[in-house]
A and B are shown apart, each in its own frame.
Chain A
């Protein structure tokens, strides 16, 4: 390899482990809280629970993979044995599934919020729990199928293009929905003597929501694009050398997701407090 090339940037294992375990803990907390607490059984919380579940799967898979790499480096695992490669395929499928699932969950949350605002009075008729369950079932099965297909047939360029197109379209849809809602909210809020501070905070919230999504996901997807478009270009090579950093970014999105979506809901925070600090669970929940 050329000395003047871009050396691959390595991220130490402890970083991966920390990010993975902390995000696992947070998301598991959200999933358990939504499932156990009866007054969190509404469509909005179900979608957040689904997002947290996908993030949990991603964290578990990534952490497990790191563990296997550490073991393989230490010589305890056979790198090329069939069990390891099959396991590797399974892990890749799970990762793909959780990535596509997270994006679908974001889209579902954005659509749910949109319906809440623009079809508010018919919300309970439009978004019944049966429909929510159907939507979630659809998301989970399609993600599973997609993941298996992608790993089995990674040879085909078409699959990767689909992946990238899916990401870009979802991004555009989410961006549009939120900006539209925000604009409507401003028109509405300015006539209830909304404070300047709260307007700024709304803008900041939206920027954080969307900004975090873009900052964490875009580098990996640009990596995919670069792999397709300019594999031999030295500039692209230097971009690819930062791959591990981009993976850490993606994992850290699973870490900050609960902070952006779930922990902002007062109801959910209240449930956490009851769960974690309440001695008598039966009474508390």
Chain B
């Protein structure tokens, strides 16, 4: 028997298999051919089916023959289901706190919503490892300090320049974050904002929470150092929401 490089044959099976044209040919010709004279030619030899070497013995199998197949599919199914449950768990962690009485603290501080937090000063970069609510509250603290410091900068220009960007960003975020058809159908342009504007007074703190929370993606950037101190980004949410809430009162003004 020719000393055929086994790896070559095995590898060939990959590409061979990817081309059923040749593989089927081999399967049908294998039994017909008793001569292997064609092997001498490199060109034809390449197309030798690997089974020509040695048929795989199926004697004495301890487990079921298809155990790898079954194991693979079970593992894949478990992985997908696990991923789904992880995602819904992330969702659930958020849901009970949607009705969280942010509104409970609405009257307590003169600065309004921005200081409504339990005074957690947690590590911001550990936000993902803790329940979402705590992590988001720590973001509040971070933003309060940042916005207080940078409060005096040019807001009017930001207002004009960024309002459009913000609306566009909301649209994109709405489209992509939710990936929901209803959000996309509605165009999403003003949907998140209009959803806020129709709130009652009791929801204003939630709106303010949104204001701070909305900066979170930028916060994440700052934390990971991926963007250079873009202070103007911190004003974006406040700018648009200010215009919205100024109609009622300046409750959520960033003081």
Contact = CB atoms under 8 A, between A and B. Distances in A.
A155 B11 CA distance: 6
Interface string A60-86: 000001101100110000011000110
The majority secondary structure among interface residues of chain A is: helix
Given A182-B87, A231-B50, A236-B68, A214 B80 contact: yes
Given A117-B217, A239-B68, A198 B15 contact: no
Interface residues on B, range: 35 or more
Interface in A92-131: 92, 95-96, 113, 116-123
Contacts of A207: 80, 83-84, 87
B65 interface: yes
Nearest to B132: A187
A185 B216 CA distance: 10
A115 to B, nearest CB: 10
Contact of B216 (A121, A122, A187): A187
A244 B20 contact: yes
A88 B46 CA distance: 13
A67 to B, nearest CB: 10
Interface in B73-99: 76, 79-80, 83-84, 87-88, 90-91, 93-95, 97-98
A15 interface: no
Contacts of A266: 181, 184-185, 187
B20 A215 contact: no
Given A4-B58, A187-B136, A199 B206 contact: no
Contacts of A222: 72
Contacts of B148: none
Contacts of A205: 179-180
Interface in B50-68: 50-51, 54-59, 61, 63, 65-68
A233 to B, nearest CB: 7
Interface in B167-212: 169, 172-173, 175-185, 187, 192, 195-196, 203, 206, 209-210
A266 B65 CA distance: 48
Nearest to B162: A121
A65 B209 CA distance: 58
Given A182-B90, A199-B95, A215-B76, A6 B179 contact: no
Contacts of B56: 2, 5, 232-234, 237
Given A120-B172, A206-B179, A69 B17 contact: no
B94 A187 contact: yes
Given A116-B176, A211-B80, A231-B10, A192 B58 contact: no
A21 interface: no
A19 interface: no
A121 B69 CA distance: 47
Contacts, number: 248
B206 A191 contact: yes
A137 interface: no
B59 to A, nearest CB: 8
Interface residues of A, number: 91
B17 A243 contact: yes
A80 B12 CA distance: 16
B15 A264 contact: no
A92 B15 contact: yes
B57 A2 contact: yes
B83 A211 contact: yes
Contacts of B226: 118
A232 B54 contact: yes
Given A157-B7, A215-B80, 12 more contacts: A4-B58, A79-B25, A95-B18, A120-B169, A120-B173, A194-B178, A202-B177, A227-B13, A231-B50, A234-B57, A235-B65, A239-B68
Interface of B: 6-8, 10-15, 17-22, 24-25, 27, 43-44, 47, 50-51, 54-59, 61, 63, 65-69, 72, 76, 79-80, 83-84, 87-88, 90-91, 93-95, 97-98, 128, 132, 135-136, 162, 165-166, 169, 172-173, 175-185, 187, 192, 195-196, 203, 206, 209-210, 213-214, 216-218, 220-221, 226-227, 230, 233, 236
Top 9 A-B residue pairs of the complex, sorted by shortest distance between their CB atoms: A185-B177, A190-B94, A203-B87, A120-B169, A199-B91, A266-B184, A207-B84, A211-B80, A205-B179
24 contacts: A4-B59, A65-B21, A72-B21, A92-B19, A116-B172, A118-B218, A121-B162, A160-B14, A182-B87, A186-B90, A186-B94, A188-B173, A190-B98, A191-B206, A193-B195, A202-B179, A205-B180, A207-B84, A210-B83, A218-B76, A231-B50, A235-B68, A239-B66, A266-B184
